[in-house]
Amino acid sequence: MRLKVLGLMAALLPLAACNLTSGGGASVADAGVTDALIAQVPEGEWLSYGRDYGEQRFSPLTQITDANVGQLGLAWFHDLDTARGQEATPLMHDGTLYISTAWSMVKAFDAKTGALKWSYDPEVPRETLVRACCDAVNRGVALYGDKVFVGTLDGRLVALDQKTGKVAWSKVVVPNQQDYTITGAPRVVKGKVLIGSGGSEYKARGYIAAYDANSGKELWKFHTVPGNPADGFENKAMEAAAKTWAGEWWTLGGGGTVWDAITYDPTTNLVLFGTGNAEPWNPAASGREGDSLYTSSIVAVNADTGEYVWHFQETPEDRWDFDSAQQITLADLNIGGQQRHVVLHAPKNGHVYVLDAKTGQFISATPFVMVNWATGIDPVTGKATVNPAARYEKGAPFVSLPGAVGAHSWQPQSFSPKTGLLYLPVNNAGFPYAAAKDWKATDIGFQTGLDGYVTSMPADAAARAAAMKATTGTLVAWDPVAKKAAWKVELPSPSNGGILSTAGNLVFQGTAGGDFVAYSADKGKQLWSFPAQSGIIAAPMTYAIDGEQYVAVMVGWGGVWDVATGVLAHKAKKQRNISRLVVFKLGGKSALPAPPPMAQMVLDPPPFTGTPEQAKAGGELYGRYCNVCHGDAAVAGGVNPDLRHTAALNAPEAIRSVVIEGALQHNGMVSFKSALKPEDADNIRHYLIKRANEDKALEAR
């Protein structure tokens, strides 16, 4: 019987002394982007993903304040040529604004006028989408010397000339182009470009590597999980990690991918990075037991050599997709009367961690949402005690709080040294887990070992209403010293944008509902908002040129919440993708064009003529291979097609041509013939028809 889920429960671095005109200064332009500049960013610029090495996403600019932010207006905008989720943080150097877009494209603009200077398209094959868990997104570029660096979805690291956008060098940096992708922003340290990869839902073995900024030559690599013991271990860290695994974990890679968070600490010369989930999620699917190091952890390595220094595992024996790949922030805090140089981290598992940045010593961990997967945190070691009921592979399905999307996902946090608060984009959303029976790995699609059919949302009004009510978002201002929230803003939907805080006592965040909002940083009072016409999941940034401060953010709904969560993706309102870059300043007078009308899609499926057995078989296959892109229970978000509406439901041969023969490979829908037979495609069609008719009846009530 299908599980009816009735409710988802939801070191401050010194700044260079310079004025607002520093963005065009000759000394900055002549030297290019250096380590010294990234460490002490000229206050008008934004040189790295989190602005500087500390990844605080705090700007010292004060022209725009809580007193005048109501005068903020649109200075300029640029519509993008890719209708997918937009997750990048723009960078600004020497008067030029650099962005990456979905499909790993890069553009450079005059930061004052918005004039396009150049554009680069790496021409990522659209079939790459099948191995991208969470949309064709890209989180940003890196600047160093006279180059711009971008990681591409299909696994290349590309260096471009900052002035022209011409390719200086390009290199495939993933182990293979079947299981790995790159969506994260590179970081550059001491002439080394640092990047990892995504792929922990496939057959990936996590790693982080450093490449020479001038040539692309690999300089060092650190794996995050051990390989096959028969091949020997690369270092003592891998040998130690192997003792925390069981079964033949290496056959599926093990996971632990470094898909986002990378922070360099000049104080300790350490590179700190967060690792992804263990793979498969369901430990029983591969015989995995133990803590599974170094998955769901923060790991520190020597920046010069890549040698292991310390680690702290935040989620032992991960089986819930509780990545620790969220942004890692450095700060100097007075804790217990002692000044401490610390790491601030809020991973998916729902706790704010404070660690010593040099040693990884545990200082504190406090839940910032409701948590039921763990019963507590050891106050000395910081290790979580796993709730026995959360080990779903040993018994009944389990609805976890938080869920797989995470209490805090990839959307960046911000720390203000002025208020001492950590600003978090929080998701209040549970997730149901059930172990698949007789599961076997295949060479395409997610390899999680879960039963996505048993836990799918039923066509039940009460279940849907309960799930909607329990699924929300929150902007939380967290005091890491007092270990509690200073203030909160409740939001109707999860998957809201990342955060920017400024010395003007402001916090900026975009929402899933399409508003760009400014709050007072000390109290959380809403001061200003702008309707952006599409959901905002990216994080804002701010810069200054010729005495004027600007605030910029990428607009464009998409990402994992849209593609995978179905009806819950529309919690705020029915959403669509309008991808653009928007830039604001005081007194800005530009205006967005009127949005096109929403397409009205009416459910009008053919009658269900299959058998219950066919629909069940099709639902099980849909839950394993289809729902990650087309939504839970066949209810799609706003970016990918909703298969309940496809005309192919009327034609078995049409479904087979797509699923088996790959007729739409050019759009990213590749052939699944290595895992599915023609009769499987027919069963999926029967399931879609049955589900469409159920939802049509539900809507008619």
**Which bin fits 493, alpha (ψ -120 to 50), beta or left (φ > 0)?**
beta
Helix (H) or strand (E) holding 623: helix 612-625
Three-state secondary structure call for residue 195: strand
Considering only CA atoms, give the Rg of the chain.
Answer: 24
The span from the CA of 473 to the CA of 426, in Å, is 6
Q: Which residues contact 563 (CB under 8 A, 6 or more apart)?
A: 134, 135, 569, 628, 629, 630, 631, 636, 637, 639, 640
The span from the CA of 352 to the CA of 332, in Å, is 16
The span from the CA of 81 to the CA of 104, in Å, is 12
Residue owning tokens 């269900």: 608
DSSP 69-133: GGGEEEEEEEE-S--S---PPPEEETTEEEEE-GGG-EEEEETTT--EEEEE-----GGGGGG-T
Which three-class secondary structure string do you get for 452-488?
CCCCCCCCCHHHHHHHHHHCEEEEEEEECCCCEEEEE
- DSSP secondary structure letter of residue 533: S
* Beta-strand relationship, 499-502 and 58-59: parallel
The span from the CA of 369 to the CA of 352, in Å, is 10
Q: Which of 679, 696, 678, 672 is nearest to 608 (CA)?
A: 696
Q: Which of 406, 386, 417 is nearest to 327 (CA)?
A: 406
C-beta of residue 638 within 8 angstroms of C-beta of residue 629: no
The span from the CA of 242 to the CA of 227, in Å, is 8
Active site residues: 321
C-beta of residue 109 within 8 angstroms of C-beta of residue 148: no
Helix (H) or strand (E) holding 624: helix 612-625
**Which bin fits 524, alpha (ψ -120 to 50), beta or left (φ > 0)?**
left
In the numeric block, which tokens belong to residue 410? 């990839």
- DSSP secondary structure letter of residue 693: H
